[in-house]
């Protein structure tokens, strides 16, 4: 199934998710460093990474929802996509809660509840990221139906396969 929201021939959702995933996971790593070293500076950095990661997650969600709506009902991909999306809504809610608790307290010394929410959020994000990988790598969601090892560049305006289903000539 091909993605419905693309930029230069590639799924926008797949391009955008790397930012919130990386920012939120790194925020938790920085919180762990702060706990290990006693330096509140790392908690402050984590605060800003959570803010940016949450915004990034909100930007990545609409293209993912649009792609999910195009998956045929009754398929395994539709169910996996539902759990992926709903799980990520919970992930963003956990991190938004962590951010709010940090915002209302001393950012250099966040309350334990803020840390628990972000640590729980990253644990759930590992599961939802795996589900996203299952959608793309195993179920082919967001992948050009003619994808192959010798497909032409997506900017070439040539299909990945010719009309007969054969690979196009590559000149190699």
Whether the per-residue pLDDT at 32 is higher than 80: the answer is: yes
Contact 110, 97 (CB under 8 A): no
Confidence bin at 172 (pLDDT 50/70/90): very low
Q: Rounded to two decimals, what is the model's pTM?
A: 0.88
Q: What is the pLDDT of residue 149?
A: 83
pLDDT digits (tens, 9 = 90+) for 73-126: 999 999 999 999 999 999 999 999 999 999 999 989 999 999 999 999 999 999
Q: How far is CA 153 from CA 3, 140, 161, 165, 168, in A?
A: 17, 18, 12, 17, 11
Among 24, 7, 10, 8, smallest CA distance to 144 is for 10
What does the pLDDT look like over 138-169, one tens digit per residue?
998 888 888 888 888 888 888 887 656 565 55
């Amino acid at each position: 199934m091909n993605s419905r929201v693309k930029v230069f021939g590639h799924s926008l959702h797949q391009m955008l998710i790397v930012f919130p995933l990386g920012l939120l996971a790194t925020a938790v790593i920085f919180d762990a460093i702060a706990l290990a070293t006693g330096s509140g500076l790392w908690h402050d950095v984590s605060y800003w990474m959570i803010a940016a990661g949450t915004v990034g997650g909100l930007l990545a969600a609409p293209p993912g929802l649009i792609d999910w709506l195009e998956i045929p009902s009754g398929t395994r991909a539709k169910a996996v996509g539902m759990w992926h999306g709903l799980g990520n809504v919970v992930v963003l809610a956990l991190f938004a809660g962590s951010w709010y608790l940090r915002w209302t307290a001393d950012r250099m010394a966040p309350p334990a509840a803020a840390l628990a929410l972000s640590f729980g959020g990253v644990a759930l994000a590992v599961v939802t990221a795996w589900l996203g990988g299952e959608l793309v790598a195993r179920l082919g969601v967001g992948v050009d139906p003619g994808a192959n090892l010798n497909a032409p560049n997506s900017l070439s305006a040539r299909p990945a396969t010719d009309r007969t289903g054969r690979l196009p000539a590559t000149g190699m």
